[in-house]
Amino acid sequence: MRILILLSGLLFLMSCDSSTEASHDQSPAPSKSEYAIVIHGGAGTILKKNMTPEREAKYRAALDSALTVGEQILADGGAAIDAVEHTIHFLEDSPLFNAGKGAVFNHEGKNELDASIMQGSDQNAGAVGGLSTIKHPISAARAVMEQSEHVLLTGAGAEQFAQEQGLESVDPSYFYTEARWNSLQRVIAEEKGVELSESDDPNDKKHGTVGCVALDKAGNIVAGTSTGGMTNKRYNRFGDVPIIGAGTYADNATVGVSCTGHGEYFIRYAVAHDVHARMLYLEEPLETAADHVVNTTLVEKGGSGGLIAIDRYGNVSMPFNSAGMYRGYAKPGERYVGIYDDE
Ligand code: ASP
């Protein structure tokens, strides 16, 4: 009898031990936030002296509303992929930003739209380049990721695929805005050596893009980016946006990144992937990795721009080396919107 009691006592102690062990193994990572979302509306020569208070208020309100779209989805327990897609829809629909409606014009006076999306759970990714009739290029990128075996589709084929997926198409004139048209005329005039007075457009004449990274309650990180590219681009030029690893990258183990800036440099230095790689191989924290890539690697090479990123703990980073970057983030109990570098 005594032996039996001793044995069952031992078994009880062992079971306590192993359950402690198990709960230790399963303890959640030191998460700082349940969810997080960060956005950008492009980096460039965004100067306060060129901005009217009304215009600045419009940008701040648009960024704030975009955050609300995504945060609502995340707070309700929705998926990061939906938060990113819907937030970018909002930014694509706003004529203030160089993506969707409000995209810049190429040399021929047309809008050619690029977008990409990547999910951190399995590195599945989709991208489109050179669209001219799909209202929401980010949805075309998502369709490539989810409904095709490819990663990047371009031009007429990408349009056909998006239409077959039932995505909303519009007449190319939908993307026209007077401000972007005027920017093209200015850039072409400057190319011809015509001296012009300072533009009253607060945006850099060539830069812009929108992006969003989200971490959902299930720990999934998704990054997406959408752009009209650079004003006066020619020869079916693509920048970094549709290139996975350059303008967009996501890995649940490290980080999600969306970039904006002079795309050629972001392609050459695989900027979005480089942030991930520094975190993975050098074990750098997010802020160190993101700051190094933007303020050392890119600055040394002359590549202007910035990026937004979220790591698996919900830490947010938004470094840029240009005068300004439209940006913002939201997490439970926290919200920030900024434009210039001193805020
Ligand atoms: N990265 C974009 C491109 O090169 C433009 C931008 O973000 O400003 O197409």
Look at residue 21 and tell me whether its pLDDT is greater than 70.
no
295-337 confidence digits (pLDDT tens): 999 999 999 999 999 999 999 999 999 999 999 999 999 999 9
Per cent of the chain over pLDDT 90 is 81
Look at residue 202 and tell me whether its pLDDT is greater than 80.
no
Look at residue 150 and tell me whether its pLDDT is greater than 50.
yes
Please state the rounded mean pLDDT for residues 6-25: 40
Q: How confident is the model at residue 13 (pLDDT cuts 50, 70, 90)?
A: very low
Please state the rounded mean pLDDT for residues 195-209: 60
Least confident of 128-132, 164-168, 205-209, 287-291: 205-209
Please state the rounded mean pLDDT for residues 185-214: 75
Look at residue 53 and tell me whether its pLDDT is greater than 50.
yes
Q: Is 208 in the pocket of ligand 1 (CB under 6 A)?
A: yes
Mutate to test the pocket of ligand 1, among 96, 260, 320 (most ligand atoms within 8 A of CB): 260
How far, in Å, from the CA of 260 to the mean position of ligand 1?
5
126-151 exposure pattern, b = at least 16 Cβ within 10 A, e = fewer: bbbbbbbbbbbbbbbbbbbbeeeeeb
Please state the rounded mean pLDDT for residues 42-46: 88
How far, in Å, from the CA of 333 to the mean position of ligand 1?
32
Q: Which atom of ligand 1 is nearest to the CA of 266?
A: 1
Spatial neighbors of 226 by CB under 8 A, at least 6 apart, are 88, 91, 92, 99, 100, 113, 114, 115, 137, 138, 141, 209, 210, 211, 241
Q: Is 241 in the pocket of ligand 1 (CB under 6 A)?
A: yes
Q: Which atom of ligand 1 is nearest to the CA of 207?
A: 8
273-305 confidence digits (pLDDT tens): 999 999 999 999 999 999 999 999 999 999 999
Residues 212, 99: contact at Cβ < 8 Å? no
Catalytic status, residue 209: yes
Q: Is 42 in the pocket of ligand 1 (CB under 6 A)?
A: yes
Q: Read off the amino acid at residue 101.
A: K
Q: Is 224 in the pocket of ligand 1 (CB under 6 A)?
A: no
Q: Where are the alpha helices (DSSP H) in 201-337?
A: 263-268, 271-281, 286-292, 298-301
Q: Is 261 in the pocket of ligand 1 (CB under 6 A)?
A: yes
Residue 64: the pLDDT is 98
Residue 45: the pLDDT is 82
How far, in Å, from the CA of 272 to the mean position of ligand 1?
13
| Residue 312 backbone dihedrals phi, psi, to 5 degrees | -70, -15
How far, in Å, from the CA of 24 to the mean position of ligand 1?
45
Whose CA is closest to atom 9 on ligand 1? 229
Integer Cα distance of 41 and 311 in angstroms: 20
Q: Which atom of ligand 1 is nearest to the CA of 233?
A: 9
206-228 confidence digits (pLDDT tens): 668 999 999 999 999 999 999 99
Whose CA is closest to atom 4 on ligand 1? 263
Residue 22: the pLDDT is 35
Length of the chain equals 343
pTM: 0.89
**Domains of the chain, residue spans:** 37-340
Q: Is 204 in the pocket of ligand 1 (CB under 6 A)?
A: no
Residue 35: the pLDDT is 98
Residues 165, 131: contact at Cβ < 8 Å? no
Per cent of the chain over pLDDT 70 is 87
Q: 209, 225, 231, 260: which one is catalytic?
A: 209
How far, in Å, from the CA of 93 to the mean position of ligand 1?
18
Q: Is 230 in the pocket of ligand 1 (CB under 6 A)?
A: yes
What is the phi-psi region of residue 167: left when phi exceeds 0, alpha when psi lies from -120 to 50, beta otherwise? beta
Look at residue 184 and tell me whether its pLDDT is greater than 70.
yes
Q: Which atom of ligand 1 is nearest to the CA of 263?
A: 4
Residue 196: the pLDDT is 60
How far, in Å, from the CA of 102 to the mean position of ligand 1?
14
Best CATH choice for the domain 37-340 from the list 3.40.50.300, 3.90.1200.10, 3.40.710.10, 3.60.20.30: 3.60.20.30
What average pLDDT does the structure give for the chain? 90
DSSP bridge partners of 305: 261
Least confident of 17-21, 49-53, 102-106, 202-206: 17-21
